[in-house]
Amino acid sequence: MERTFAMIKPDGVQRGLAGEIIARYERKGLRIVGMKIMQVTEEIANAHYAEHVGKPFFKGLVEYITAAPVVALVLEGANAVAEVRKMNGATNPANADMGTIRGDYAQEVGRNIVHGSDSVESAEREIAIYFKPEELLSYDYLPNKWLYE
């Protein structure tokens, strides 16, 4: 089993789409291992998006992500990293396929509603930024019996 970090960004929460987005991840068979609504501080944003420091969109990205609460999620499943990236769709919603979260719900790259880690290594790094180890729960998830052979 693999874990990934996902986030419903401020626009998703403000537009009342958190429940719908969480439901999509659940229906795919991803187990919710950690979840909270929280305010992202500038310090957290800088750590999360360290790879983008200095890029022209960085300031706007930090303003966006710190503007209002987000829902932070740790999701678990076989290939959770790639599955969440596929479900989220292309970074720029204008290029995202219909049927993906960004394709269905978003318009612009600067308001692309969700985040998903791009690799297992990124997931581990991002999970550690947003969650304490004791906030991640291991428990029997009965659907796994029918999700996996």
Element (H, E) at 133: none
- Residue in the block written with tokens 């930090």: 62
- Amino acid 87 reads M
Across the chain, where does the E strand assignment appear? 2-8, 31-38, 70-77, 114-116
CB of 67 to ligand DAT, least distance (A): 14
Q: Write out the binding residues for ligand DAT, residues 95-114 only, by CB under 6 A.
A: 109-110, 112
Q: Is 121 in the site for ligand DAT (CB under 6 A)?
A: no
CB of 26 to ligand DAT, least distance (A): 21
The stretch near Mg ion (CB under 5 A) out of 3-11, 20-28, 36-44, 111-119 is: 111-119
H helical segments located in 42-132 = 42-48, 58-65, 80-88, 101-105, 120-130
Q: Write out the binding residues for ligand DAT, residues 53-72 only, by CB under 6 A.
A: 57, 61
Report the candidate in 15, 20, 16, 132 with the shortest Cα–Cα distance to residue 74.
Answer: 132
Residues catalogued as catalytic: 115
- Residue in the block written with tokens 């959770």: 80
CB of 144 to Mg ion, least distance (A): 28
Query: From the list 118, 129, 135, 136, which residue makes contact with ligand DAT (rule: CB under 6 A)?
Result: 118
Cβ atoms of 7 and 70 within 8 Å: the answer is yes
CB of 20 to ligand DAT, least distance (A): 19
For Mg ion, the binding residues (CB under 5 A) are 118
For ligand DAT, the binding residues (CB under 6 A) are 52, 57, 61, 91, 109-110, 112, 115, 118
